[in-house]
Amino acid sequence: GGETRRRLAKLISRLSREWATPVFPPHVTLIGEIDIPAVEMVAKASELAKDVLPLSIVLGSCDKDQDYYRYLFLKVSPSSGLTDAYQTACRVFNRSRTESYQPHLSLVYGSLGPEVQNRVIKHIGVSQCGLFQASKLHLFKTCGAVADWVRICEISAEGVVLIDCVGSPKVRLEQAGIDLDSITDLILTHFHPDHVSGVPLLLTNMWLGGRKKPLRIYGLHHCLERIEDVMSLYNWDKWPGFFPVAFHRLPDSEFIHVLDKGNVRFFASPMRHLVPTLGLRMENTANGKIAVYSCDTEPCPSIVRLAKGADILIHEAAGAELGHSSASQAGSVAREAEVGKLVLIHYPNQDNDPEKLVKQAKETFQGDVILAEDFMEMNF
Which of 5 and 28 is assigned the larger pLDDT?
28
pLDDT confidence of residue 230: 97
For 356, other C-beta atoms within 10 Å of its C-beta total: 11
Q: How confident is the model at residue 128 (pLDDT cuts 50, 70, 90)?
A: low
Q: For the chain, list the strands marked E by DSSP.
A: 55-64, 72-76, 104-108, 127-134, 136-141, 150-156, 160-163, 183-187, 215-220, 245-250, 256-261, 264-270, 278-284, 290-293, 312-316, 341-345, 368-371
pLDDT at 182: 86
Mean pLDDT of 51-75: 89
Cα–Cα dist 136/134, whole Å: 6
Judged on CB neighbours under 10 Å (0-12, 13-18, 19+), 47 is middle
Quick: pLDDT tens for 350-374: 767 888 999 999 999 999 999 999 8
Angle between helices 2-19 and 114-124 (to 10 degrees): 140
pLDDT in tens, 204-246: 999 999 999 899 999 999 999 999 999 999 999 999 999 999 9
The reported pLDDT for the residue numbered 377 is 83
What is the reported pLDDT for 73? 93
Q: How confident is the model at residue 1 (pLDDT cuts 50, 70, 90)?
A: low
Mean pLDDT of 77-106: 86
The pLDDT-based confidence of 325 (bands split at 50, 70, 90) is very high
What single letter denotes the amino acid at residue 325?
A: S
Q: What is the mean pLDDT of residues 339-343?
A: 98
In whole angstroms, give the CA distance from residue 310 to residue 337: 8
Q: Cis peptide before 251, with omega less than 30 degrees from 0?
A: no
Tell me the pLDDT tens digit for each residue of 71-90: 999 999 877 688 889 999 99
**Mean pLDDT of the region 34-58:** 83
pLDDT at 60 over 60: yes
Neighbour count for residue 175 (Cβ, 10 Å): 10
- pLDDT, mean of residues 83-104: 87
Residue 2 has pLDDT above 70, yes or no: no
pLDDT band at 318 (very low <50, low <70, confident <90, very high): very high
pLDDT tens string 129-165? 677 778 788 888 888 888 888 888 777 777 899 999 9
Question: Which class for 344: exposed (0-12), middle (13-18), buried (19 or more C-beta within 10 A)?
Answer: buried
Q: What is the pLDDT of residue 134?
A: 81
What is the predicted pLDDT for the residue at 259?
94
Mean pLDDT (the chain) is: 90
- Residue 74 bridge partners (DSSP): 62, 105
- Residue 178 near residue 187, CB atoms below 8 Å: no
Is residue 126 pLDDT above 70, yes or no?
no
Residues of the chain with pLDDT > 70: what percent? 97
In eight-state DSSP terms, residue 130 is E
Nearest-CA neighbor of 201 among 218, 186, 220, 219?
Answer: 186
Average pLDDT over residues 106-114: 92
The pTM is what?
Answer: 0.71
Distance, CA of 313 to CA of 162 (rounded, Å): 18
